[in-house]
Copies of this chain bind each other. A is one copy, B any other.
């Protein structure tokens, strides 16, 4: 059970988009080159973000993507769920219903205890991701990235931004 690589890509792209000046757009091509990723496939991840309403897109030359909200209002969970889907990581097939000792017509009043425990764990995972805003990520990255590289990168981005 591993998250798709698109999750990582989407997070990196959002971090870049968060540093984009208001009103500017950055194309899939630029994002793909910046991260060394296949453009066509990366576009699928960005489409997911777009469909989830996290980013806004514009067509035509100098088109591309920008964030649809402020970085403070976007959480890790928003991005992860946009790509990975919102369904829980544990699905309960309710196999207890197959117990041959079970009286016919017996109906379970509540979900299986196993499922509830697994869902609780799933929920703390999601909560942890909800607690981190995109702005927090940008702060961390700017602190940990060498000053020169950070500056060069955003110069590069601005040259490519429409």
Contacts and interface: CB of A to CB of B under 8 A. Distances in A.
Contacts of A2: 1, 87, 89-91
B34 A144 contact: no
A156 interface: yes
Interface in A1-31: 1-5, 7-9, 11-12, 15
B101 A149 contact: yes
A35 B113 contact: no
Number of copies: 2
B3 A76 contact: no
B8 A95 contact: yes
Contact of A5 (B3, B93, B141, B149): B93
Contact of A124 (B101, B125, B155): B125
Q: How large is the interface on A (under 10, 10 to 19, 20 to 34, 35 or more residues)?
A: 35 or more
Interface of A: 1-5, 7-9, 11-12, 15, 33-37, 76, 84-85, 87, 89-93, 95-103, 106, 110, 113-115, 117-118, 120-122, 124-125, 128-129, 132, 137, 140-141, 144, 146, 148-149, 152-153, 155-156
Given A8-B90, A35-B98, A103-B149, 13 more contacts: A2-B90, A3-B90, A5-B91, A8-B93, A8-B95, A12-B114, A36-B97, A36-B99, A101-B155, A106-B149, A114-B137, A120-B128, A125-B125
